[in-house]
Amino acid sequence: MAAGSACSVAVESTEPEAESQPACGVEEDVLVQERFARPADQWPAAWTAFGVGASWVEPGSGFLLAGPGARHGRKLTAPLAPTDTLIQFSFSPTEPQSFVVSLYGDQPRGRSAEVSVTRRFDAFGRASVEGLVESGPAHIPMTDEQPEDGATPRDRSAGRWWLRIRVRRESGGDYIGARLWRDGTAEPERFDEVRADGLASLGTFGLEAREHRDSWSDDAVELHSVTLCKSR
pLDDT digits (tens, 9 = 90+) for 128-143: 778 888 887 778 877 5
Residue 30 forms part of a structural domain = no
Residue 55 forms part of a structural domain = yes
| pTM (predicted TM-score) | 0.80
CA-nearest of 162, 91, 96 to 126 is 96
Residue 12 forms part of a structural domain = no
pLDDT at residue 215, rounded to an integer:
54
Residue 79 forms part of a structural domain = yes
Number of domains composing the chain: 1
Residue 88, SS3?
strand
pLDDT at residue 86, rounded to an integer:
93
Q: Is the pLDDT of residue 204 over 90?
A: no
Q: Is the pLDDT of residue 6 over 50?
A: no
Residue 198 CA neighbour count, 13 Å, CB half: 15
Residue 131 forms part of a structural domain = yes
Residue 6 forms part of a structural domain = no
Residue 192 forms part of a structural domain = yes
Q: Is the pLDDT of residue 151 over 90?
A: no
Degrees to nearest 5, angle at CA 102 with 70 and 38: 85
Q: Is the pLDDT of residue 122 over 60?
A: yes
pLDDT at residue 214, rounded to an integer:
54
pLDDT at residue 73, rounded to an integer:
93
Neighbours of 14 (CB within 10 A): 11
**φ, ψ of residue 7 in degrees (nearest 5):** 55, 30
Range of the domain at 112: 38-212
Q: Across the strands, what pairs with 133?
A: 115, 140
Residue 224 forms part of a structural domain = no
Work out the mean pLDDT of the chain and round it to a whole number: 75
CATH classification of the domain holding 97: 2.60.120
Specify burial of residue 182 (Cβ count, 10 A radius: 0-12, 13-18, 19+).
middle
Give the type of residue at 109. Answer: R
